[in-house]
Structure 1
Amino acid sequence: MEADERLLQVLVVEDDPGDVALVESAFDEHSIRSALHHVPDGGEALAFLNRDDPYGDAPRPDLILLDLNMPRVDGRQALVMIKTDDRFKSIPTIVFTTSSSDSDVTSAYDARANAYVTKPIDLDDYDRVISKIHDFYGHAVALPGQPSEEPAP
């Protein structure tokens, strides 16, 4: 399979089932070759990335869509932990949230978010935003490869 045909592994960190359904629908609507993985909060996202139980077979995401306002470990905390961990900091992480607060935008970029996208309210706009994210991260940019599971010689 060529690089363009490879499934884009996307980790969606979102506590609202309705928003998860919108992301899934937008990916389906645009026939985006991807595997979406969903976790409901930042703590579960870290467990997924670390392949902790029950995520032992979890793939390394090519892209993370991260909501900010979630229970337990929120997106702000998760973003800092992801971007300060040498194993995960190269994974493009897009804050995808309802907040358009200047302080949230600034703090997300200070924590090394790769992009900050405010979730559109209109369904058509939502689909367009997801399509643009996919076009950019799925086609326009080179993404880091999967780290080798084998020890170096």
Structure 2
Amino acid sequence: MIVEDNEADAFLITETLQPGPLSCDPVIVKDGVEACDYLHAREPYEGAAQPDLILLDMNLPRLNGHGVLREIQRDERLKRIPVVVLSSSDAAPDVERSYDLGANCYVTKPVGLHEFQSRVKEIENFWLSVARLP
């Protein structure tokens, strides 16, 4: 699951994951409220499959990434889903708060296209090939 309000970043993440070693068809939601609706299978996401991994931007409309992390931690069914924060912020308070709220990893988005794609591939390789997901 990709939680990203920047359409270009969401597209780039999806395109980078497509030729990957595993079949990966991520769901994309554009804000924190939509992410929570999806995770709780609320309208219009009734019957939605629980994601194996969440890539979460911090600076989201309606409900920011920290709010999404809080919501995930409140639900026993959701809190085992690994969450990788993928944010443009490298501010220490954002990093620390994300980990305090249960993030499994915090990655700063690089500015350049090649670096961004490389970072996404590293996330994919670790979380979908190396780590064992619940």
Contact 2:2/2:26 (8 A) holds in 1: yes
- Residue aligning to 1:129: 119
Instruction: Report if aligned partners of 1:32, 1:134 keep a CA contact under 8 Å in 2.
Output: no
Task: Say which is worse superposed, 24-33 or 80-89, in terms of deviation.
Answer: 24-33
2:66 to 76, 91, 116: 76
For the residues of structure 2 that align with 1:133 and 1:42, how far apart are their CA atoms? Answer: 21
Indicate the residue corresponding to 1:27 in structure 2. 17
| Superposed CA RMSD | 1.2
Of 57, 63, 86, the match for 1:67: 57
Partner in structure 2 of residue 99 of structure 1: 89
Q: Single out whichever of 109-118 and 77-86 deviates more from structure 2.
A: 77-86
Gaps of 5+ in 2: none
- Which residue identity is paired with 2:24? S
Normalized against structure 1, the TM-score is what? 0.83
Q: Which runs of 5+ in 1 are unaligned?
A: 1-10, 145-153
Letter in 1 for 2:78: F
Q: Which has the higher strand share?
A: 1
Q: 1:26, 1:126 within 8 Å by CA — same for their partners in 2?
A: no
| TM-score normalised by L of structure 2 | 0.94
Q: Alignment length, in residue pairs? A: 134
Deviation at 1:25, TM superposition (A): 1.7
Aligned to 2:2: 12
